[in-house]
Amino acid sequence: MLDKNAKIYVAGHHGLVGSAIWNNLKSRGYNNLVGRTHKELDLTDQYSVKKFFDEEQPDAVVLAAAFVGGIMANSLYRADFMMMNMKIQCNVISEAYAHKVKKLLFLGSTCIYPKNAPQPMKEDCLLTSPLEYTNEEYAIAKIAGLKMCESYNLQYGTNYIAVMPTNLYGPNDNFHLENSHVMPAMMRKVYLAKLIHENDWTSIRKDLTIRPVGATIPENGEKVRYEIDGNSDEALILKVLAWYGIENNKVTLWGTGTPLREFLWSEDMADASVHVLLNVDFKDIIGIEKYSSVHYGATTDGAVDRNHSAGRGGAIPSLGEIRNCHINVGTGKELTIRQLSELVVKAIGFEGEVAFDSSKPDGTMRKLIDVSKLHSLGWTHKVEIEDGVQKLFDWYKDSLK
């Protein structure tokens, strides 16, 4: 357990998960928290990250910063998804080790699992068959991150834990139409289609002022980039929104609507993350008591001697192969994208049409995780999807005031 005065650096503290973790730590009495915005600290810049760790010397790190997005974004920016996330992870994890950080929590994603993994997906199905092509680069980066944590623990006796959350949603979610995840994108599309039908241009312009929209649209054999905000011409606004399937009382969503998805409220994810940060050690996950002291040469006061590692260079023969030490975080429950759209429609009070474009990709058809390891470590979710969708729309409406 970290002391209440421990300095904890939350990387990505303004993001969906990072902000929720920050608030959860505060609610538990951890007030010595450190955060930096992207403008203040570019985590892809190795020199800047080293300088930050030199100055702050955190006791613990939560790595919730990442370059993220949905199917469209993953398709458009494949190189960015790989490179940006690898840079962030390598810089933060290596500097955490160099500055003797006591505990590190790495947040990944359940997209790490194979496209055709047995359902529900256990941690042990990692790297057993090919990944889903549409998010392959992001998945590979996250696999590298969890393997970094695992390998540092095995080689150096560190205490770095990786958690793999399912699809998340909640306060501070990203509603950007070009690179957001399925639920917030769907919610905003339905809301805007309703406003167009109601001819409520005051609300439409307010929405676009707070969250401008860009689109690259093919025209006459070329790709033309458009950017719209609350001051844009009405005809241009309707053109760009139509590109995203948003029309008068009608929304067209990608795919068939049949893929199954699991969703976790971000504040539940934060609670699970902080639970793991404060109560779970690497030895607890691999089920070996006194792992550090036995295999990494503990000092007389019980601390780990990082200059000695019986396992330097690979697995420890006496323990056998150690892998898949990450922890799935989710609800263990699922629904179809079409069922999700029905919950969104109900929350918004939309009376128009929701259509599905089957010519567009569905992504992975099913993605349910096994959460038995998480439950065995003492945590279960609280917010069910029916309540969560309404809570998210209420938050979105408040964000427009």
> Which residues are known catalytic residues?
138
Specify whether the CB–CB gap between 274 and 25 falls below 8 A: yes
Rounded Cα gap, residues 82 and 67, in angstroms: 9
The Cα–Cα gap between 98 and 118 comes to 39
Torsion sign across C-alpha atoms 95, 14, 162, 145: negative
Q: How far apart (Å, rounded) are the C-alpha atoms in residues 293 and 313? A: 18
Q: What are the distances in angstroms from CA 362 to CA 64, 177, 303?
A: 27, 17, 49
Tokens 């689109």 correspond to 215
Nearest CA to 357 among 217, 233, 224, 245? 245
CB 11 within 8 A of CB 65: yes
The answer to whether residues 116 and 270 touch, using CB atoms and an 8 Å cutoff, is: no
Q: Phi and psi dihedrals of 168, rounded to 5?
A: -110, 155
CA dist., res. 223 & res. 217, Å (int):
5
Taking Cα atoms as reference points, which of 217, 144, 227, 178 lies closest to residue 75? Answer: 178
Question: What gap in Å lies between CA 328 and CA 342, rounded to an integer?
Answer: 27
